[in-house]
Structure 1
């Protein structure tokens, strides 16, 4: 089995928030959610989407940290700030284009999704993906990722929304499928 990645099929989310409950149970998370479920447009649809760290290959949070408190693990997981290094400047919370890092005032420390590093380093799915009942969050290998990307090829050959602009920070270790949005389809619920 090759490298595994967290794959998110946004269209599948039903807003059950199982991923949030599971996140609090991951080792070292101190019973704190590190991911979120957002209502897309509550006045017009019941559609929800999971929002979690995309574990950027060149993360803005780590680049902005003057204390080098944010480490990147060998599997690409961008970890929470190290207690012994974090100076509480909150640069990371401002720099992240997705608003993911949160700041604990009492501990004077940034925390965020760490891709359940204690599990994923051993090939075990992150807690959120292990409980998702609709396969919105999936822990898949590169072969399965390639199959999924092929399914959603667009007429211009692009899989992600990169024309006329790239809405993402750059390359990410978490992969996202937005085929309904990209192909102009609307969900019926």
Structure 2
């Protein structure tokens, strides 16, 4: 089988777990292509130069405060730029997925890949470890949870890279999720190299 694995390029967490998945699939005899942007690209190039990598767009990230929490005002100020970049990601993912023509698309928290795979009709699994972002504003919290939940629910399956309750590490990120989303989470534990 041929797999197209696309992941958020912010930091190395998404990249490292997707490389672990890719290596396991390759070991099982499957063909794998990776897609990312930002930090993820450099990480894959260094750690797995043997795995085909397709570039998935310019960096898009929440603006962060010094304490590591999301800066809503700073993010909203960048919204026009982020919107353009996001549409560029969707376009790039459409082109990449069409060119690779995989049997399965795996998106690690990357909404542009979800949109592209669904619009092209490819089977899709989504990996998440935080199905919602925690925000100070109840209104923004409700809106982003709904938006992200809608995106995750476009997939054929939702893989939760965390322990099942009551041992869930990111417990606050799964509490108060809509039942339609929570019931679809398949808790698989952390995805690490053995």
Flag the structure with more relative contact order, 1 or 2, with Cα contacts below 8 A and sequence separation at least 6: 1
Structure number with higher helix proportion: 2
- Same-fold call, TM > 0.5? no
Instruction: Give the TM-score taking structure 1 as reference length.
Output: 0.30
